[in-house]
Amino acid sequence: MDLRVIGCHGGETPRHRTSAFVLDDRLAIDAGSLTSGMDLKAQFALEAVLVSHAHLDHIRDLATIADNRQNRVPPLVVAGTRPTLAVLKKHFFNNLLWPDFSRIPTLRRPAIRYLELVPEKVTRIAGYEVRAISVNHTIDCCAFTVRSADGTLAYSGDTGPTERLWQVLGETTDLKALLMEVSFPNSEARLARVSGHHTPETLARDLKKLASSKELPTLLYHIKPSFQAAVERECARLTGLNLTICALGDHFIL
Ligand SMILES: [Zn+2]
Ligand SMILES: [Zn+2]
């Protein structure tokens, strides 16, 4: 599996982009920076986007990628749980904030097509076996496992300390890597707790619920730009884990 980091931050500046990752050029995980971080050719190559939750930093470039793709390529599959899709329909592609691209340019060939994911249930998307696992955030949010013939990639979504994800990953024998959120420094533990995010301290405690975390390549994302240096410093001090901090443009072969 070929993993490209399009956006890996919990905020935006000219040097930071919000969450978006692409597998084998055809499956995106979250849509925070799919158009600000990819040229048209790469945008057109996508078949589907997995949406972890409806927060703006994970969905906002669905607006612009839908616009760019209309009448050029087949519909983009937008896959998420029922509560996530409900927010997209009611508050985003609602013909007020933005057109309903699930109905235009034509009903027969719209720019996007919704696909509902049921947590825990495997769904086949763009040639992968995708499973959503509920995690612990301020709104409905899920992690994903994405399996291909090469193995499984896991993505945490936005989450604070959680349980079920670690059980599922513990049972995943072909797990290659985990994209894992960490957002705030330890000094902002309260803010992390009320906003459903990790600090390096809570991250280390949670990762240790997984027996293989010592070796498992764990790719950290969602650091808040204004706390980047502090979070990186604190992560560098964690021991007994296999951590890498994602950077824009990173390309991993899993
Ligand atoms: Zn969020
Ligand atoms: Zn977020």
pLDDT tens per residue across span 12-29: 999 999 999 999 999 999
Neighbours of ion ligand 1 (CB under 5 A): 55, 158
Please tell me the distance between residue 108's alpha carbon and the centre of ligand 2 in angstroms: 33
Question: What is the mean pLDDT of the segment spanning 49-71?
Answer: 98
Ligand closest to the CA atom of residue 195? 1
Burial 208-242 (b: 16+ CB within 10 A, else e): eebeebeebebbbbbbbeebbebbeebbeeeeebe
Hey, where are the domains in the chain? 2-253
Neighbours of ion ligand 2 (CB under 5 A): 57, 158
High-pLDDT (> 90) share of the chain, %: 100
Ligand closest to the CA atom of residue 135? 1
Q: What is the pLDDT of residue 132?
A: 98
Please tell me the distance between residue 38's alpha carbon and the centre of ligand 2 in angstroms: 19
Across all residues in the chain, what is the average pLDDT?
98
Question: What is the mean pLDDT of the segment spanning 70-91?
Answer: 98
Question: What is the mean pLDDT of the segment spanning 103-112?
Answer: 96
Write down the CATH superfamily of domain 2-253.
Ribonuclease Z/Hydroxyacylglutathione hydrolase-like (3.60.15.10)
Continuous segment of H or E residues that includes residue 235: helix 228-236
Model confidence pLDDT, tens digit, residues 201-252: 999 999 999 999 999 999 999 999 999 999 999 999 999 999 999 999 999 9
Q: Both tokens of residue 140?
A: 């409905």
Ligand closest to the CA atom of residue 141? 1
